[in-house]
Amino acid sequence: MNVGNRGSEDSGHAAPGSSAEHGGGSTGPPDAAKLGRELIRIAGFLHVLFSSGLGKPELTLRQSEALDIVASTPGIRLGDLADHLKLAPSTVSALVNRMVRDDLLQRNANPENRREIQITLGKTGVRYLKNRSRVVEENLAGLLAILSAKDRERLTFAIETLADIIGSGGRHEA
Ranking 12-16, 93-97, 160-164 by mean pLDDT, the lowest is 12-16
Q: Can you tell me the distance from the alpha carbon of 122 to that of 124, in angstroms, rounded to the nearest whole number?
A: 5
Closest Cα to residue 152, out of 162, 140, 168, 164?
140
H-assigned helices in the chain: 32-51, 61-72, 78-85, 89-101, 123-144, 149-167
Q: For residue 174, what pLDDT band results from cuts at 50, 70 and 90?
A: low
- Say if 111 falls within a structural domain: yes
Q: What average pLDDT score do residues 158-164 get? A: 88
Instruction: Give the number of domains in the chain.
Output: 1
- Say if 119 falls within a structural domain: yes
- Say if 78 falls within a structural domain: yes
What's the CATH number where 105 sits? 1.10.10.10
Segments forming the whole domain that contains residue 95: 56-132
Are 121 and 81 in contact by the 8 Å Cβ rule? The answer is no
- The residues, ordered by sequence, that sit 6+ positions from 116 with a Cβ below 8 Å of its Cβ are 77, 109, 110
Across the chain, mean pLDDT equals 79
Query: Does the structure show a pLDDT above 70 at 11?
Result: no
pLDDT tens digits, one per residue of 109-151 = 888 888 888 999 999 999 989 888 888 888 888 888 999 999 9
Q: What is the DSSP code (8-state) at residue 172?
A: -
The whole model's pTM is what?
0.64
- Say if 71 falls within a structural domain: yes
Q: Can you tell me the distance from the alpha carbon of 75 to that of 120, in angstroms, rounded to the nearest whole number?
A: 5
- Say if 76 falls within a structural domain: yes
Beta strand pairing call for 76-77 and 105-110: unpaired
Are 119 and 140 in contact by the 8 Å Cβ rule? The answer is no
pLDDT tens digits, one per residue of 48-66 = 777 766 667 788 889 989 9
Look at residue 53 in the predicted model and tell me its pLDDT: 65
First-to-final CA distance of the chain: 32
Is residue 91 left, alpha or beta, with left meaning phi > 0 and alpha meaning psi from -120 to 50? Answer: alpha
Higher pLDDT, 31 or 94: 94
pLDDT tens digits, one per residue of 21-31 = 444 444 556 68
Helix/strand/coil for 109: strand
